[in-house]
Structure 1
């Protein structure tokens, strides 16, 4: 099956959060696909269809790993070099995709991050 002459790809996603309001898939400007499964994010190259990496969202040091760390939304930066994730506990994490390293962690006063969006270098949460 194809859409506009391009083949479709099916991904097996065993830990996909069953939540209509979650925003767990995003595509960068250069065709990198990010998919959140539980507290991990997997990265695929849409051209080669190869898994190119993943990173695991972790709790604050000294805090136990729990279900509330499940990622509820994610969003690529405009240049495709950074990926931001939000979780069910209100925490936002900014990741350097090339280094697969957490750059920044922000705690919100609201318990759920439902959406993230970028405008140039400005990030907003909803």
Structure 2
């Protein structure tokens, strides 16, 4: 099963910082997925070994694209409860994205890129 556009954007946002390069073509994303222009309150949680490793909640006045990008980077690198995430931790972390939409809360989780279980 392929990663959703939203979860891929979350991963790409963290990778931009780890690789110290801008790789997200936001305009292309917005053109391909107009929903990303909507304002939706967003929460992003990072989990390492099923324990919270970082979290950030958007203010709710950003486009969904901006909210995901900002939440991912702040959860990974600016959560004051944790040190900034390392590349190794990133590869082993799960990402949970929670959207507070007018129709209700939508949550989806992206498994770690590398699994410790060997499966």
The alignment's TM-score, normalised by the length of structure 1, stands at: 0.29
Q: Report which structure shows greater RCO (CA 8 Å, sep ≥6).
A: 2
Between Structure 1 and Structure 2, the one with more strand by share is 1
- Bigger radius of gyration among the two: 1
Between Structure 1 and Structure 2, the one with more helix by share is 2
